Amino acid sequence: MQQSTVLLLTFRKRAKFFKLVQSDCCLWKDEGHRELLRSMLMTASDICAITKPWPVQKRIAELVATEFYAQGDREKWEFNIQPIGVMDRENCSRLPQMQVDYIDGICAPLYEALASVCESCSPLKDGCGNNRKHWQHLVDSKMKD
């Protein structure tokens, strides 16, 4: 299955899960509801680096960005195509803002929804929130320069 198809399916399930959580009608005896929860827990584990202590999270983000930039370089020089923003080395100074956007758009909503149905997921939500503060501080510091 192509990555874009997997992402599309993930975002569809995510939208259903958020709607279910907001409706406050989660019936965990319902297999469909449990399947949505399992899917979201898998996604949460896939992106859990964003919840780690700040020094670890920052280093992981830098390593991932380095891999993305290498992929973008290859796309640019070998295939003559413009890479997407997060893979374009010319955007490397924007890493803190890209991380804030990633947290706001992808990570925080998921961890907040999970924490609302499973209190033991609260540390993930809290770690994500703490790292957002650190990334935002870097954004704000850069704007002062």
What b-and-e string marks burial along 18-37, b requiring 16 or more CB atoms within 10 Å of the CB? bebbeeeebeeeeeebeebb
What residue spans define the domains of the chain?
Answer: 1-46, 47-145
Confidence of residue 41 (pLDDT cuts 50, 70, 90): very high
What are the backbone dihedrals phi and psi of residue 73, each rounded to the nearest 5 degrees, phi first?
-60, -45
| 30 labelled ligand-binding | no
For the segment 56-82, what is each residue's pLDDT rounded down to a tens digit?
999 999 999 999 999 999 999 999 999
Q: What is the mean pLDDT of the chain?
A: 91
Decide if pLDDT at 14 tops 70: yes
- Range in 22-26, 49-53, 70-74, 98-102 the model is least confident about: 22-26
Give 134's pLDDT tier (boundaries 50, 70, 90). very high
